[in-house]
């Protein structure tokens, strides 16, 4: 194949990408509250834990008083019951950038393992809660742990690549991370002598997640203006971080929302669901 033909084929493929992305755009159910049934080929199927992708041929039957939020092409659609919805009924122009929508769709068309195994500890030993052990994250903000018999303990962040401790502190229960910006790579959070692996992802991955979050931020603003509850608004961005394999970032968001709305039962339930994903709940 000569170079001119190759260039034309590449050009044609680039032109087709937006159309292909539109055809394969995933519809993500970020909130399902109340009586919601998933129907596939005329039969009721088990409703997955949110977030999940609504597949072609599936219908959501939203019962009286129930509600779902669907993230599609950078927009958030709230459906109140009684109603039903399938992929053919979704559409609309996103307020977000095309790059953000593309990054969002790319994340949710991948099969990513979101389950994390929280580190188990014997009674009386410190157990890391934030960030989640084994997780990857953009940056640590708060280091939080549970320990029924601990007073102040020493926390150290060890850079595996540089072979050095880059930050340390002493606290009880939680401490704000105020150390240096972290480069991509593996780190150990040492909690009272126990190492917990965390990873800072490479720049390309961080950029894709940032673009996807920027798209969801616009959808979240619109949902909030439409009367969306705090839990429903936060669940949009949290679902992106969960799908990106950054469940600690999702939990940091939910924790922040609970600080503003400490008595919000739906936010408390959302925290429980995401901590279950993270392996932090029984």
Going residue by residue through the chain, which has 282 residues, state the pLDDT in tens, using 9 for 90 and above.
444 444 444 334 434 444 434 445 899 999 999 999 999 888 888 899 999 999 888 999 999 999 999 999 889 999 999 999 988 878 755 566 788 899 999 999 886 555 555 555 554 688 999 999 999 999 999 999 998 888 899 999 999 999 999 999 999 999 999 999 999 999 999 998 899 999 999 999 999 999 999 999 989 999 999 889 999 999 999 999 999 999 999 999 999 999 999 999 999 999 999 999 899 986
Give the closest residue to 112 by CA, choosing from 282, 18, 239, 250. Answer: 239
Q: In what order do the strands lie in the sheet with 127-130?
A: 127-130, 142-146, 174-176
Q: Which two tokens stand for residue 217?
A: 């931020």
Phi and psi, residue 255, nearest 5°? -60, -45
For the entire predicted model, the pTM comes to 0.85
* Residue located via tokens 């408390």: 268
């Amino acid at each position: 194949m000569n170079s001119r033909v190759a260039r034309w084929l590449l050009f044609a493929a680039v032109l087709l990408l937006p159309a292909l992305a539109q055809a394969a755009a995933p519809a993500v159910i970020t909130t399902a509250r109340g009586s919601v049934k998933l129907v596939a080929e005329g039969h009721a199927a088990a409703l997955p834990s949110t977030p999940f992708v609504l597949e072609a041929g599936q219908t959501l039957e939203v019962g009286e008083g129930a509600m779902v939020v669907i993230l599609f092409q950078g927009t958030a659609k709230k459906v109140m019951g009684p109603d039903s919805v399938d992929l053919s009924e979704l559409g609309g122009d996103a307020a977000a950038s095309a790059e953000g929508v593309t990054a969002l769709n790319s994340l949710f068309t991948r099969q990513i393992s979101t389950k994390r195994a929280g580190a188990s500890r014997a009674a009386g030993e410190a157990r890391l809660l934030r960030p989640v052990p084994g997780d990857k994250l953009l940056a640590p903000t708060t280091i939080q742990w549970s320990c029924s018999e601990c007073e102040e303990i020493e926390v150290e962040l060890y850079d595996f690549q540089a072979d050095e401790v880059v930050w340390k502190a002493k606290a009880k229960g939680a401490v704000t991370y105020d150390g240096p910006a972290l480069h991509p790579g593996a780190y150990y959070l040492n909690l009272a002598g126990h190492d917990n692996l965390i990873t800072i992802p490479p720049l390309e991955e961080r950029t894709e997640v940032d673009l996807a979050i920027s798209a969801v931020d616009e959808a979240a603003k619109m949902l909030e203006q439409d009367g969306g509850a705090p839990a429903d608004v936060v669940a949009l961005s949290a679902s992106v971080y969960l799908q990106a394999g950054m469940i600690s970032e999702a939990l940091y968001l939910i924790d922040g929302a609970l600080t503003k709305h400490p008595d919000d039962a739906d936010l408390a339930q959302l925290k429980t669901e995401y901590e279950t994903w993270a392996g932090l709940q029984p």
